[in-house]
Structures are given as structure tokens and as C-alpha cells.
């Protein structure tokens, strides 16, 4: 039953992407990488290392020079606090985006974890509450959380820093090419945080301009 529900959700997502293909893509940080330390042992710590895949095609929330720089996104310190049904709830997770020059820098290499963090930390933050990794089967699931940005050299360029940027995607253990030492592939995105809305009547709106 869960597989059928998952298939329906994926189909709906594909339909939504197809129907909106002609519209401008919303700014996101699009990433693809691999997680290590994934376990059902309480207090185990998960780390996910990835590369931003926008590549100048998908718009980013801040201007980013993909021609001359490589950008990595790393989730660290995610500690498994509880398991509730399909949900694995992680606390203490941090997130960081690094910029490293292609010329003179160090290309990200999964066999050398430090190459993901040896650039300039342009955005750093924490997950607001829990990072949830849902396991629909032993080899397939998704993850979801909300990020508050708190630091980095380009923090001032980010709006709604602590408003909870949605971070979500899917994970798989069957995809080919998972590097040695890693457990699963994580393919996801970090969206612009929603803007708070204050309810007003039409009369109230008109009063603002009087």
C-alpha cells in the first residue's frame, strides 16, 4: 500500500513539474550527494555531502558563479533521536554551503570528505527542529526539514534567514554509483523560505494608502 501511495505522489510531482515547465523556475539550491552513517541505532550520526547542481541553469536564491566555482552543500551532526513508524527523526543537524574556485581550488571528492568543506562557507545554518528521514522501504524514502540560516559570508544577501527554508528530497540505496563508504544517494533542494502574511480586509489595505 505504501508503495502505491509513494508512486501516486511521485506521479503527481511529475505532473506538476510538467505543467509548470513553461513557467519560470523558482529560485532553489538544487543538490545531489550521498549520506554516510545512516543507521537505525539511536544516537547514531548522519552526514550528507553533496554538490549543487543548479549549474547556472536553475536560478539560485543568490547570484552564484558556477562557471568559475564549485558549490558544495553539507549536512552534519544529524543525530538520530527517535524512530516513529516510517520516520527517523534527527536532531542537532547543521547545514552549510561552500564555494571553492575551480581553478586553484580542490574538486569535491567523496573519497576525501574534507574537499567538501575546504572552500569559503557562504551560508551556514541549523535545521529548525528535526530533520525527518522517512523510510518507505529498506532502499527508498524521502527526507524533509526546515533550515534557519545563521552565518556565512553571504548571509546578508538572504531574506527570511530564520523563517524556515524548506529542505526536502528523496533518498535511494539502489541507485548506481554510490561511493564506497556511503549508504545512500540524496537528491533534494532547498527552497526560498515562505514570507509571513498578515491578514487584512480590503478596507484595511486601502487605509494604508490614505
**Alpha-carbon distance 138 to 35, whole Å?**
15
Residue 198 domain-assigned (yes or no):
no
Residue 8 domain-assigned (yes or no):
no
Over residues 163-189, the pLDDT tens digits come to: 899 999 999 999 999 999 999 999 999
Over residues 89-100, the pLDDT tens digits come to: 999 999 999 999
Residue 116 backbone phi and psi in degrees, to 5: -90, -15
**Alpha-carbon distance 99 to 121, whole Å?**
7
Residue 206 domain-assigned (yes or no):
no
**Alpha-carbon distance 50 to 35, whole Å?**
9
Over residues 24-46, the pLDDT tens digits come to: 678 999 999 999 999 999 999 99
Residue 96 domain-assigned (yes or no):
yes
Residue 17 domain-assigned (yes or no):
no
Residue 83 domain-assigned (yes or no):
yes
Residue 11 domain-assigned (yes or no):
no
Instruction: Indicate the number of domains in the chain.
Output: 1
**Alpha-carbon distance 126 to 164, whole Å?**
10
What one-character-per-residue DSSP string does 110-159 give?
TTBGGGGTSSEEEEEEEESS-EEEEESSSSEEEEEEEEEEEESTTGGG-S
Residue 105 domain-assigned (yes or no):
yes
Q: Which structural domain range is residue 61 located in?
A: 27-192
Stated pTM of the model: 0.82
Amino acid at each position: 500500500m505504501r508503495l502505491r501511495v509513494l508512486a501516486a505522489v511521485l506521479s503527481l510531482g511529475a505532473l506538476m513539474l510538467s505543467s509548470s515547465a513553461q513557467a519560470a523556475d523558482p529560485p532553489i539550491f538544487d543538490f545531489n550527494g550521498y549520506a554516510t552513517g545512516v543507521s537505525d541505532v539511536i544516537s547514531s550520526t548522519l552526514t550528507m555531502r553533496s554538490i549543487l547542481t543548479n549549474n547556472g541553469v536553475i536560478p539560485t536564491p543568490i547570484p552564484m558563479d558556477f562557471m568559475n566555482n564549485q558549490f558544495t552543500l553539507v549536512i552534519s551532526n544529524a543525530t538520530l533521536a527517535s524512530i516513529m513508524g516510517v520516520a527517523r527523526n534527527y536532531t542537532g543537524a547543521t547545514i552549510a554551503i561552500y564555494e571553492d574556485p575551480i581553478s586553484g581550488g580542490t574538486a569535491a571528492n567523496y573519497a576525501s570528505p574534507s574537499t567538501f568543506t575546504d572552500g569559503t562557507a557562504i551560508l551556514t545554518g541549523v535545521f529548525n527542529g528535526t530533520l525527518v528521514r522517512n523510510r518507505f522501504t529498506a532502499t527508498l524514502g524521502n527526507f524533509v526539514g526546515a533550515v534557519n540560516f545563521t552565518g556565512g559570508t553571504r548571509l546578508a544577501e538572504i531574506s527570511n534567514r530564520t523563517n524556515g527554508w524548506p529542505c526536502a528530497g528523496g533518498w535511494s540505496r539502489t541507485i548506481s554509483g554510490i561511493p564506497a563508504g556511503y549508504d545512500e544517494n540524496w537528491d533534494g533542494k532547498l527552497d526560498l523560505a515562505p514570507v509571513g502574511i498578515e491578514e487584512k480586509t480590503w478596507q484595511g489595505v486601502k487605509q494604508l494608502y490614505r
